[in-house]
Homo-oligomer: A and B are copies of this chain.
């Protein structure tokens, strides 16, 4: 009883308190839960990237993150849901990366832009491989994936608009789709023997295209 009183006092202040207080004892468990989820997603990233979507087994993903299979299913009720979780996390990270570029985009040259995009892709590389696998897996739920794509494309359009304010909205959308398709090949280039030289080429492709497109748009 007395504990409840003090609780309501706290709540008034913190705002987020309402839920926190109700969960009192559960708070640490939640923290554990979030770590579990992170560990699961990390393991899933590895296993999907190594084996592909179908060949990856829920059992191995659980084992690699030292999680009981039953617990994995508590957090992600299906393999599809796990894939979606991965997609979601990737979407957030990619969005953050693109937003960061957008913030600096106004003052960048096309060549600098190309570099920034290349850097971003390489930073996300390990997750990209898993993502590719998931996007290619022709399973149902593709629509939700399409949603993710939409979000990222929006961010990319933001980058472009910041970079070349003169672009029409439609044109920015189109360019963002095109650029994202081009950027998809970057992790693959990284696996070629001539990776370094190919990066130079990609830099050329991107800046040449950006220059031409911005000028022509």
A residues contacting B by CB (< 8 A) are 50-55, 132-133, 136-139, 174-175, 177-178, 181-182, 184-185, 188-189, 192, 194, 197-198, 201-202, 204-205, 208-209, 211-213, 216
Contacts and interface: CB of A to CB of B under 8 A. Distances in A.
Contacts of A175: 201
Contacts of A182: 182, 185, 205
A204 B209 CA distance: 7
Contacts of A138: 50-52, 55
A208 B212 contact: yes
Nearest to A194: B174
Contacts of A51: 138
A146 to B, nearest CB: 11
Contacts of A192: 177
Contacts of A198: 174, 177-178, 181
A182 B186 CA distance: 10
A73 to B, nearest CB: 13
A201 B185 contact: no
A208 B208 CA distance: 6
